[in-house]
Amino acid sequence: MEWLAVEEFAPTIPRLDIEKARHPDALSRSEFVKDNIVRTVMRLPDPEDATGPGLYLKRYKFRRPRERLKHLIVPTKPATEWKVCRALQKAGIPTCDVLAIAVRRRRGLHREGFLLSREIAGAVELRDFLRDRRPAAEERNPRYRRELIEELADLTARLVDGGFDHRDYHVGNLLIRPGAPAGRRLHVVDLHRVRLRRAGRRGLLRMLGMLADSTSLSDVSQEDRAAFLRAFLSRWRGGPGDSEDAFARWSKMIKLAQRRLWRTHMRSRTRRCVVRSTLFTKERAAGFLIHRRRDIPLRSALDAVKLHDAAIAGERGDVQVFRRDLRTEVTVCPCDRVPPFGVNRPAAPDDVKPANVCVKSFRRASLVERLKDTFRPCSRARTAWLAARGFSVRGVPAARPLALLESRSKLSGKPDYLITEALENDGDLGELAMAGLPAGRRRRQLGAAIADMLNLLAEKEIYHPDTKPTNFLVKERDGAFDLWLVDLDRVRFDAPPDRNRWEKSLARLNAGLPADVTVLDRMRCLRRCGAGRWTARERLQIARRVYDLSLRRRPAWLRHA
DSSP 8-state symbol, 185: S
Measured CA to CA, the distance from residue 105 to residue 2 in angstroms comes to 10
Answer yes or no: are the C-beta atoms of 335 and 371 closer than 8 Å.
no
Measured CA to CA, the distance from residue 330 to residue 318 in angstroms comes to 14
Q: In what order do the strands lie in the sheet with 124-125?
A: 124-125, 174-176, 186-188
Answer yes or no: are the C-beta atoms of 204 and 167 closer than 8 Å.
no
The three-state (H, E, C) secondary structure of 340-385, written as one string? CCCCCCCCCHHHCEEEEEEEEEECCCCHHHHHHHHHCCCCHHHHHH
Considering the chain, what is the average pLDDT of its residues? Answer: 88
Q: What is the pLDDT of residue 556?
A: 44
Query: Which run of H or of E encompasses 447?
Result: helix 441-459
Measured CA to CA, the distance from residue 502 to residue 498 in angstroms comes to 6
Q: What is the pLDDT of residue 236?
A: 93
Answer yes or no: are the C-beta atoms of 448 and 455 closer than 8 Å.
no
pLDDT in tens, the chain (561 residues): 789 999 999 999 999 988 999 998 888 988 999 888 889 999 999 988 888 889 999 999 998 888 889 888 989 999 999 999 999 999 999 999 999 999 998 888 889 999 999 999 889 999 888 887 666 766 677 888 899 999 999 999 999 999 999 999 999 999 999 888 888 899 999 899 999 999 889 999 999 999 998 887 666 788 889 999 999 999 999 888 889 999 999 999 999 999 999 999 999 999 999 988 889 999 999 899 999 999 999 999 999 999 999 999 888 888 888 888 888 999 999 999 998 877 777 888 888 999 999 999 999 888 888 888 888 888 899 999 999 999 999 999 988 999 999 998 888 888 999 999 998 888 888 888 777 767 778 888 888 999 999 999 999 999 998 898 889 999 988 778 899 998 898 899 998 888 899 999 999 988 888 877 888 888 888 888 877 788 888 888 988 998 888 887 655 434 444
The DSSP-derived string for 293-315 is ETTS-HHHHHHHHHHHHHHHTT-
Answer yes or no: are the C-beta atoms of 428 and 472 closer than 8 Å.
yes
The three-state (H, E, C) secondary structure of 272-283, written as one string? HHHCCCCCEEEE
Measured CA to CA, the distance from residue 509 to residue 469 in angstroms comes to 6
Q: What is the pLDDT of residue 101?
A: 94
34 C-beta neighbours (distance < 10 Å), count: 11
Please give the class, per CATH, of domain 131-273: mainly alpha
Please give the single-letter amino acid code of residue 341. Answer: F
Measured CA to CA, the distance from residue 242 to residue 40 in angstroms comes to 43
- 236: closest CA among 160, 343, 123, 141? 160
Q: What is the pLDDT of residue 160?
A: 94
CATH of domain 2-118: 3.30.200
Measured CA to CA, the distance from residue 160 to residue 207 in angstroms comes to 10
Domain residue ranges of the chain, discontinuous segments joined by +: 2-118, 131-273, 276-421, 429-473+487-558
Rounded to the nearest 5 percent, the helix, strand and coil shares of the chain are: 45, 20, 35
Q: In 105-221, which residue ranges form alpha helices assigned H by DSSP?
A: 126-131, 142-161, 200-215
- 416: closest CA among 252, 256, 291? 291
| Phi, psi angles (nearest 5°) of residue 508 | -60, -40
Answer yes or no: are the C-beta atoms of 149 and 130 closer than 8 Å.
no
323: three-class secondary structure by DSSP: strand
Who's near 240: CB < 8 A, 6+ residues apart? 233, 246, 249, 250
Measured CA to CA, the distance from residue 269 to residue 5 in angstroms comes to 36
Q: What is the pLDDT of residue 382?
A: 93
328: three-class secondary structure by DSSP: strand
Measured CA to CA, the distance from residue 333 to residue 360 in angstroms comes to 10
Please give the single-letter amino acid code of residue 24. Answer: P
Phi-psi bin for 41: left (phi > 0), alpha (psi -120 to 50), beta? beta
- 380: closest CA among 391, 369, 390, 389? 369
pLDDT tens for 193-228 read 999 999 889 999 999 999 998 887 666 788 889 999
Q: What is the pLDDT of residue 516?
A: 77
DSSP 8-state symbol, 76: P
Measured CA to CA, the distance from residue 438 to residue 517 in angstroms comes to 10
Q: What is the pLDDT of residue 135?
A: 67
Query: Which run of H or of E encompasses 356?
Result: strand 353-362
pLDDT tens for 31-52 read 999 888 889 999 999 988 888 8
Q: What is the pLDDT of residue 554?
A: 59
Integer-rounded Cα Rg, in Å, for the chain is 28
Measured CA to CA, the distance from residue 487 to residue 470 in angstroms comes to 9
Evaluate the CA torsion angle 213, 216, 220, 225 in order and state its sign: positive
Measured CA to CA, the distance from residue 451 to residue 483 in angstroms comes to 11
Q: What is the pTM of this model?
A: 0.84
